[in-house]
Amino acid sequence: MADGISTTTEVGGIGESPAAPAWPPPAPLTAEAVAAFDLAARRDPLGDRVHFWMAVVAMALQPIHLVPAAIGQAVVIVYALLRLHATWRGALPLLRSPLVVVALLIPAWTAIAIAWSPTPAVGLEDLIPLRFPLFALALWPIRDRIRPLVLAFAAGGAVQAVIQTGMFVGLIPNLNEEYEAWGQTGGLGRHPGNAALFAATAAPLLLGRLMVLSDRRRLVALLLVGVLAGVVIAGNRTLFLVLPVAMLVVVLRVVVSRRFLRERWRATIGAGVITALAIAMVPVIAPSSLVMNRIEAMVGEIERAVVDGQYHSSGGMRLYWWRESVSVVRAAPVLGHGTGSTGAVMMSHLESTRSAEEAEQFATDNPHSTIVTEAIERGVVGVLLWIGLAVLGVFTARRVSNLEPWLTGLPAAWLVAIGYGLSSSVQLSGINTAVLAILLFLTMPPPIVPAVVTET
């Protein structure tokens, strides 16, 4: 069976159905759920292998560029639909996972909210990135082989980092002209924030595996160095603040786990000390580095916006949009103005309360905040769904990582995505939601029957 503490229940010969009825579905992490999951591979062994390799390629493509990433997702989703005749029983227990239910409700509510949008065509476009639960569910039938999938995902981020480095030093033509003046590059994906999010999400997963497992450590360490380099070169200021915290969370989780402390206490403490010192020393040994320059620029932008009212900067415009969104949200607090409405309602609000000139300069359809975008377009209902996804993601990831200790970095990876979403509207980007799909997939209750697990 799979990684982790598992028990597989045999239920007859190949092609036979489980003894238990399909409905109501068994609870996750039970022998019945595991039996239903295993049945798919026995009924369709060739399809199972093809599914796995398709997923490996798709995972590696996600960090590279929107187009190949979307194609990879589409191929896996279509193939998973074709395999439903063999896999549907194994997926039914997921309907009893609160995390999966909330993830499915988000695109459902987004689709419903198009009904009262002043710009429904824009709403339909904004619905497309919210396919992330479909991609996660399409990966589910191969959830028992996730170690290679995580490495494939990280390898894609490392390849992007190599391309970013080549652009940064001038060996490769820089495709990121808009950000080149700031010393940033997003590689083939062009957007530094998107590249950084993939790399920063992979980093805690790799660190956790490196500290827990002894196999392929050189490869994992190399990939970790690669994705960290990608984060630095991308220059995303939010992730400069969030990622160190996430990495420390990984180290602390390993430290407080008595089993790992007993077995690997030297490596654990050493890794913790090195990580803490590395984070603390950045301002000292590299005060003029890209990291410190970007953070100092952010502080300056916020200060100029708050003190002098100068909003023509990345940080300043965010503060302006968030401030103006308060009045917009008050006009439709419960259901919002409808999916895809932000651009129209912000323009109308600024024209009526400020001036036509100010509206032309500052009106936006992307206020760069997951919560602000959700509050404007889908109200309190949408905000609660996204908060539910975040909270359930972290706590379910904690439980899953206790079942599969090499995923110790999974809760921290969720923290990275949550932190990034505070200053970016992740629901508007198919690249950003691809990260959510991967996290959701890894956090779904695994097809194992747990023994007694020590919570950490």
pLDDT value at position 324? 87
Distance CA 121, CA 129 (A): 14
- Residue 100: exposure state from Cβ atoms within 10 A (0-12, 13-18, ≥19): buried
Lowest mean pLDDT among 82-86, 288-292, 397-401: 288-292
For a pLDDT cut of 90, what percent of the chain falls above it?
A: 44
pLDDT value at position 276? 56
For a pLDDT cut of 70, what percent of the chain falls above it?
A: 78
Q: What is the mean pLDDT of residues 259-266?
A: 55
SS3 state of residue 102: helix
pTM confidence score = 0.85
SS3 state of residue 36: helix
Q: Which residues touch 407 (CB under 8 Å, ≥6 apart)? A: 205, 208, 209, 397, 400, 401, 442
Distance CA 362, CA 75 (A): 39
Q: Which residues touch 287 (CB under 8 Å, ≥6 apart)? A: none
Question: pLDDT tens-digit profile of 357-413?
Answer: 888 888 889 999 999 999 999 999 999 999 999 999 999 999 999 999 899 999 999
pLDDT value at position 186? 67
What is the number of other CB atoms lying within 10 angstroms of the CB of residue 116?
A: 15
Distance CA 293, CA 430 (A): 29
What is the number of other CB atoms lying within 10 angstroms of the CB of residue 217?
A: 12
Question: pLDDT tens-digit profile of 162-221?
Answer: 888 888 777 877 776 666 555 567 667 767 778 889 999 999 999 999 888 888 888 998
Range among 2-11, 49-58, 237-246, 248-257 rated most confident: 49-58
**Average pLDDT over all residues of the chain:** 82
Q: What is the mean pLDDT of residues 151-170?
A: 87
Residue 26 is classified by DSSP as P
pLDDT value at position 229? 85
* 171-to-166, 167, 177, 235 alpha-carbon distances in Å: 5, 6, 15, 19
Closest listed residue to residue 199, CA positions, set 168, 154, 152:
154
